[in-house]
Every structure is written in C-alpha cells, then in structure tokens.
Amino acid sequence: MSKSYKIAVIPGDGTGPEVVAEGIKTLEAVSEKRGLDFQFTRFEIGGEHYKKTGEILSDETLEAFAGYDAMYLGAIGHPDVKPGVLEKGILLKLRFHYDQYINLRPIKLYEGVETPLKDKGPADIDFVVVRENTEGLYAGAGGILKKGTPDEVAVQESINTRKGVERCIRFAFEYCRKRNKEKKLTLCGKTNVLTYAFDLWERTFYEVAEEYPDITTDYAHVDAICMWMVKNPDWFDVIVTDNMFGDIITDLAAMIQGGMGIAAGGNINPEGISMFEPIGGSAPKYTGKGIINPVAAISSAQLMLETLGETEAAALIEGGVIKVLRDDIQNVAAGRMGMSTGEVGDRVADYIRQNG
Ligand code: IPM
Ligand code: MN
C-alpha cells in the first residue's frame, strides 16, 4: 500500500505561489515513481489575504494545520503591510504554536553555482545550521515604557530555558551523528559578553556532549563565525546556535551557497508538525514574471521528505536539483537563469521520472 501524506500548502504572497507550484510539480513526479501519495490542501493566508479580509490568521485556520503531516510555505510578506505584522502574526505564530523548535538550514554549494568566495568550491561549502526557533530574542519578552517621551525605555529580553536549549543542542548532536560527515558540532555563541544566556548554552552543550563521544565539539563566538564562514567555510560541519544569531548567520551562509534562490529551510518539531519554506522573501518586483528561481522551494520539499523519513525520495529530488544546477541553469539569480521558473521545475521533474 502506498504511503499517504497530507500536506498543508500556504502559497502566500508575491512569488510564493510560483515557486510552491514547482515544488509540488516535483513532489508529484516523486509520488509517481516512489509510490507515495500526497494530498495537497491550499490555505490562503498572507499579506494579500490580510489586505482583502482584514484577517491575519484565524484561530480556526491555525488549528486546522494540526490535521496535516507537514506544512509547505511559499513566502509571506507585502510591501503595503507594516513590518512585523505578518511576520509575528503568521510565521512566528505558526512556529511557536506548533512548537517548531528547530530551524534547519542546510548550506551546500552545488556544482555549477557561483559563490562570492574567491577560490572556494563545492568541496569547501557543505554544512548545516541548527537554529533554535522558539526562544531567545524572538520570545517577545519586554516592552516599552514612556513611549514617545524623552524618558522612553525599550527592553527586549532574550529568553533561554534549560529545556529549550537542551532539546535544540540534543537535536544538533543527533543530526550531526546521522549526517555522518565530519562529525563535528560547533556551538556559536557570545560567551565573552552574554555571560548569562550563553553560560547556559555552553554548560548544556558540554554536558550533552558527554553522551556523544563520537562527535568532536568546537566553540566560536558569533562574530568570529561570520569571519570564518567567509575565510574557511570548510571548517564547519554542523553549527548550533540561538534564534537571533541563527537568523543572522544563515543569511550570510545563504549568500556563500549561491544566494536566496537556493536557500532552503525547515521549521521542525521532531515530535509534531513541521513547516518547510524557501528562505527568500516574496520578491514583489519579480512577481508573476516566471523568472524567479524555484530551486530553494524545491529543496525545501526535499527537506520535507527527509524529515518525514522518505530518504530515498528526498535523494531523488536532490539528484534533480544537482542536475539542473550543473547542466541547465545559467545563473541562479532571478531573471538570469536562461530559463523560466516553470522550466526549472520541469527539468527536475523529468530527472525524477527518468531516474526514480
Ligand atoms: C527567517 C526570517 C524570519 C525570521 C522573519 C521573516 C520573521 O528572516 O526565517 O529567517 O527572522 O526568523
Ligand atoms: Mn532570517
């Protein structure tokens, strides 16, 4: 009997629907070849929907995702909506509500993709960032006093719980072991200044490390990580860090792997429902032109299959991505691919049909 997965699809805003369509195209090819059955259900939420209806995310819709095996998101963002409204009201709300406590970001430079790093190639850039995804500065603790007066005070606190830190670190050790590459886990922190938060992170890191004698541990301050990522990206295998640092270093990491058109991500609850999304935003200026690169969305679908335990099906998608980046796409940037958004998806789907 074929295995069946219910996928909640949130195409969202801007180029989100275009890239998600290509991800679905490749998943459909996978389903034909690997005997998997995907049921896709679309949910219309995002900036466009908010402007039309005044509704950001109803409790009913929020709860509805509980009935799915995974969520697949295009992009949320609208130039006419004030920053923070949709991010907090949709993206962060979903991450927190479904306790997606890991933000997983694979960084891999594929053959045929240009990196801005001089003299670096695919052999040098292949690591994964495990970002804590529900705590830290993102928890929303703090407030503003005496707003708009000369005595105004703004406080934004980083919340780090032993439970939250430990489950993230434990996931990173497990992931590093399963990945089975360098078997090296680097903690990214700021123990020289943030002596409370990263004291907890550091102590927890080395305590958990005792259970993983096969994994080499390393530590680097976040500022130094930025430096090494540019100078010696080959030093990294798996990096684990808090929410804010993870947000920042994964944008840098996305650029060295070729840019936002390539960068895939997963918001993961290992015990629950996870959400997969390309990292790039809604890209309003490219919307509707069929020139946006869908590879990040396709690789996010691959990450979804990996997380669902469909390793072979995931590898099949990656095979298609490797092929299209190496042989077909001229440049990964939007408008410079030498082919349309739909053609990229077609090529990956063709590869899957021929090799699956
Ligand atoms: C990301 C994004 C989000 C974040 C924004 C859109 C809220 O930058 O997924 O990295 O900061 O987490
Ligand atoms: Mn970010």
Q: Is the dihedral of CA 163, 138, 296, 275 positive or negative?
A: positive
Residue 46 included in any domain: yes
- Pocket residues: Cβ below 6 A from ligand 1: 87, 91, 247
Spacing, Cα 241 to ligand 1 middle (Å): 15
Residue 86 included in any domain: yes
List, for residues 180-209, the tens digit of each pLDDT value. 999 999 999 999 999 999 999 999 999 999
pLDDT band at 9 (very low <50, low <70, confident <90, very high): very high
Residue 105 included in any domain: no
Which of 228, 257, 286 terminates a domain? The answer is: 257
Q: Read off the CATH number of the domain in which 61 is found.
A: 3.40.718.10
Identify whether residues 189 and 63 lie together within a single domain: no
Identify whether residues 179 and 125 lie together within a single domain: yes
Indicate which residue's Cα is closest to atom 8 of ligand 1: 247
Residue 62 included in any domain: yes
Instruction: Please give the tally of structural domains in the chain.
Output: 2
Residue 108 included in any domain: no
Q: Which residues of 244-265 are buried (b: 16+ CB within 10 A; e: fewer)?
A: bbbbebbeebbbbbbbbbbbbb
Spacing, Cα 247 to ligand 1 middle (Å): 7
- What's the pLDDT at 325? 98
- What's the pLDDT at 2? 76
Q: Which atom of ligand 1 is nearest to the CA of 277?
A: 9
Average pLDDT over residues 59-75: 97
**pTM for this one?**
0.97
List, for residues 11-49, the tens digit of each pLDDT value. 999 999 999 999 999 999 999 999 999 999 999 999 999
List, for residues 129-139, the tens digit of each pLDDT value. 999 999 999 99
Question: What domain range includes position 45?
Answer: 1-99+272-356
Residue 1, pLDDT above cutoff 60? no
Spacing, Cα 355 to ligand 2 middle (Å): 35
Residue 264 included in any domain: no
What is the average pLDDT value for the chain, to the nearest integer?
97
Residue 205 included in any domain: yes
